[in-house]
Structure 1
């Protein structure tokens, strides 16, 4: 947040039923911070290249949760 030491953390959690195709992917989480040296569009492009997306394209999430935390 401008002029503050506070951060807003936005989350988007997608949950799927476990299937063999999904289980082999394991787990992964991504973080982006403005000062980490990577521009947001570059970070988004790298997330879009993750191997999970082709597998998830044909699956429907069982739950979606979007929320924000303040630190």
Structure 2
């Protein structure tokens, strides 16, 4: 879409939103910054899954030692010259915590939001913010 920034500047724009936070930001501060970033619209193809937000958490061993990870990701579809899917680009903010019993008890969860799907990013964020700890693990999409 004309007038919207390219996904090439998404890392810079996410860093701007996170810029005022400490090197160990509070979870709520990082979430608020991510939602501000999530409200920005980028020049994408306009297909329902060309610009998505992912909220996910769980205890994982990606780097050897188990840790509770809260990952906030933005995913962009990149098209080739013919306008067909070429690849995906992801920009993310990951918060890592010691996997305390309380965090481990949350299980794992993920939820996607896609711009151009007819849904509202603020409604998605509110649904996740109001989600009660201990609700069943799994995934949702808006």
Q: TM-score, normalised by structure 2?
A: 0.30
Aligned with 1:29: secondary structure?
strand
Q: What is the aligned length? A: 52
Q: CA RMSD in A?
A: 2.3
Query: More strand per residue: 1 or 2?
Result: 2
Q: 1:2 aligns with which of 19, 31, 43?
A: 43
Aligned with 1:35: secondary structure?
coil
Work out which structure has the larger RCO, using CA pairs closer than 8 Å and 6 or more positions apart in sequence: 1
Find the structure with the greater CA-based Rg: 2
Q: Aligned pair in 2 of structure 1 residues 40, 3: CA closer, same or farther (>3 Å)?
A: closer
Could you say which residue in structure 2 is the equivalent of 1:49? 130
Could you say which residue in structure 1 is the equivalent of 2:13? none
**Which of 1-10 and 27-36 deviates more?**
1-10
Q: 2:106 aligns with which of 25, 45, 58?
A: 25
Runs of 4+ in 1 over 6 A off after TM superposition: none
Q: C-alpha deviations, 1:50-71, integer Å up to 9, x for none?
A: 234xxxxxxxxxxxxxxxxxxx
Measure how far apart 1:46 and its partner are.
0.9
Could you list the runs of 5+ residues in structure 2 that have no partner in the other structure? Answer: 1-41, 46-76, 79-87, 134-142
Q: TM-score, normalised by structure 1?
A: 0.53
